[in-house]
Amino acid sequence: MSERNLPGLSFNEALDQKLAQANWSRREFLGRVAAFGAAAALTQLLIACGQAGGSPSAAAPTPTPQGTTTAEATAPPAPTPVPTPEDKLFVYNWDAYIGEDTVAKFQDKYNIEVTYDNFPDEATQIGKLQSDGKGGGYDVSYPASTWVPSFIQDGLVQKIDHSLIPNLKNLNALWQNPDYDPGNAYSVPNFWWTTGYAWDPRDIPGDLTSWAELWDPSRKNKMSMLDDLRECFAAGAFRLNLSPNTTDLGELDQILALLEQQKPLLRFYTATDQITDMVNQVVEMAHCWSGDWVQMTYDKPRFKYVIPSEGSIKGNDVMIITAGAEHPIAAHLWIDFNLDPEISAASTNYIGYMGPNDAALPLIDDYIKTDPRLNPPQEVLNELIELKYLAPADLAQYTDRWNKLQA
């Protein structure tokens, strides 16, 4: 896990040093800048430096003999009487999208039997959750945040009882009130990611920064793009200085034309094989998500990743409790457990995706949290755009063009 391209500017170096001393990530710092203004943030930073190194976060709540939650131990002043959890929990999540031991630790701690099912793609996940209108039999799932508004409207998710999730306070301030779900009433942010592309510096030397690199004819048959229509259209949109959420038909046609120029140069479109194919040198450059790049580096540490300068996508997913959940108490415990700093950090360290959990930051591996590509600096953060949920009529315009592109 060597070779990280930290920018070489002196301001950045100095800032990094300070941040390292305070045990903050850039993201955390910039979060505070955004929230409180530069001066206040700098002051806080210097104070934190004074407390050299920062202290490890509060220990995880320990179970009481009855196995009930220990909200009392970690501090909200008025301990509410907590109901006894059920003895089972049904979770529906991506595979390997959680710490290696998280499920086992949860089961040990609370004596709740967890059935942890996976799905192969989002269409299956959403189809299952929506099938009976209340969650398809599962208690907890992890949809992308863009689904939350429509889930709320459809009554597919239930309100989250914040009193059962004391660890919510661990969330970074920016994530306490997202616009897809004000106040996190129905969802709790899970992990977030950026989109960019990775490449093999042995085949492609130099520092790449633009989306245009994926259109370079000299790399014919050596590149791949994500098999994701929104992501591909976003890449095209950024190159043309358009919004990746555009619904203007003229703009969509422009993007389509650009993508059609690219298609003959591509080896394939994939949303699942980009890691394997890069590692095995089937392609030299791959459009991918930030976590994919981290996974690639486990095998090939030399690979590089960039969030392109024209702009890119950020996204996050959330934990929700379904309306039809048969084990709601256990579900709340699960969410609380996953927000625990150690558990959250273990997950991030294992899968390479950052979470919005401030308390977990000190425990996250350096190479993840100090990396501006996984934890981008202010100017890039500002430009990162979320893919908004598109109304069906608009999405249809995208789908048609995507199908015409692929046909």
Partner 1 sequence: MSGRPSRWLTAFTALTYVFLFAPIVILIVFSFNDSRRSFTWQGFTLEWYQRLLRDTEMIGSLKVTLEVAAIAVVGATILGSLLGLGLARLRFRGSGAVQTLLLLPIMTPEIIMGISLLVFFSQLFGLNGSIGQIALAHITFCISYVAITVRARAASLDPRLEEAARDLGASAVGAFRHVTLPLLAPAIAAGAMLAFALSFDDLVVTSFNTGVGSTTLPVQIYSAIRFGVTPSVNAISTIIVAVVSIALLIAWRLGAFRTAARAVIADPEVA
Partner 2 sequence: MTSAATPADIDTISAPARESLPRRSAAAATSVLVLPGVLWLAVFFLVPIGIMAVISLGAVDPSGHITLANPGLGNYAHALDPDFIPALLRSIYYALATTILSIGIGYPVAYWISRYGGRHKVLLLILVMLPFWTSYLIRTYAWMVILRDNGVLNGFLLDTGLINEPIPILNTDVSVILGMTYGFLPYAILPLFVSIDRLDFSMVQAARDLYASGRGAFRHVTLPLTMPGIVAAGLLTFIPALGDFVTPSVLGGAQTTTIAKLVQNIFAAGRDWPYGSAFGFLLMGVTLIGTLLALRSLRREVIGAGV
Binding site for partner 2 (CB under 8 A): 121-123, 126, 150, 153-154, 221, 225, 227-230, 263-264, 266-270, 273, 276, 280-282, 391-393, 395-396, 398-400, 402-404, 406-407
Q: Which helix (H) or strand (E) holds 252?
A: helix 249-262
> Do residues 354 and 348 touch, judged by C-beta distance below 8 A?
yes
Q: Which is nearer to partner 2, 88 or 220 (CB)?
A: 220
Q: Which is nearer to partner 2, 8 or 392 (CB)?
A: 392
> Do residues 304 and 198 touch, judged by C-beta distance below 8 A?
yes
Q: Which does 230 bind (CB under 5 to 8 A by kind): partner 1, partner 2, none?
A: partner 2
- The residues, ordered by sequence, that sit 6+ positions from 148 with a Cβ below 8 Å of its Cβ are 157, 180, 181, 186, 187, 318, 320
Binding mask 293-332 for partner 1 (x = CB under 8 A): --x--xx---------------------------------
- Give the tokens for residue 92: 């529906």
Residue 242 binding partner 1, by CB under 8 A: no
Q: Which does 391 bind (CB under 5 to 8 A by kind): partner 2, partner 1, none?
A: partner 2
Q: Which does 406 bind (CB under 5 to 8 A by kind): partner 2, partner 1, none?
A: partner 2
Instruction: Write down the residue that tokens 């890691």 correspond to.
Output: 275
Q: List the Cα angle 380/381/387 in 5-degree steps.
A: 110
C-alpha distance across the termini of the chain, in Å: 40
Q: Which does 365 bind (CB under 5 to 8 A by kind): partner 2, partner 1, none?
A: none
Instruction: Give the DSSP letter of residue 354.
Output: B
Tell me the pairing of strands 385-386 and 304-306: unpaired
CA distance 115 to 89: 6
Q: Which does 120 bind (CB under 5 to 8 A by kind): partner 1, partner 2, none?
A: partner 1
Nearest in space to 159 (alpha carbons), one of 137, 135, 134, 184? 184
Q: Which stretch binds partner 1 (CB under 8 A): 12-20, 131-139, 190-198, 230-238?
A: 131-139
Residue 119 binding partner 1, by CB under 8 A: yes
Kindly state the smallest distance separating residue 357's Cβ from partner 2, in Å.
31
CA distance 276 to 173: 36
Q: Which does 357 bind (CB under 5 to 8 A by kind): partner 1, partner 2, none?
A: none
**Dihedrals phi, psi of 258, to nearest 5 degrees:** -65, -45
Q: How many CB atoms lie within 10 A of CB 399?
A: 13
Among 137, 149, 201, 377, binds partner 1 (CB under 8 A): 137
Kindly state the smallest distance separating residue 117's Cβ from partner 1, in Å.
5
Q: Which stretch binds partner 1 (CB under 8 A): 16-24, 94-102, 240-248, 334-342?
A: 94-102
Kindly state the smallest distance separating residue 189's Cβ from partner 1, in Å.
19
Residue 388 binding partner 1, by CB under 8 A: no
Kindly state the smallest distance separating residue 249's Cβ from partner 2, in Å.
16
Kindly state the smallest distance separating residue 216's Cβ from partner 1, in Å.
26
DSSP per-residue string spanning 142-207: --BGGGHHHHHHHT-B----GGG-GGGGGB-GGGSS-TTSGGGSSEEEEEEEEEEEEE-TTTS-S-
Give CA 21 to chain center in angstroms: 26
Give CA 364 to chain center in angstroms: 15
Q: Which stretch binds partner 1 (CB under 8 A): 125-133, 236-244, 301-309, 395-403?
A: 125-133
Q: Which is nearer to partner 1, 291 or 311 (CB)?
A: 291
> Do residues 376 and 227 touch, judged by C-beta distance below 8 A?
no
Residues at the contact surface with partner 1, assessed by CB under 8 A:
90, 94-97, 115-121, 124, 127-128, 131-132, 136-138, 271-273, 275-276, 279-280, 291, 295, 298-299, 351
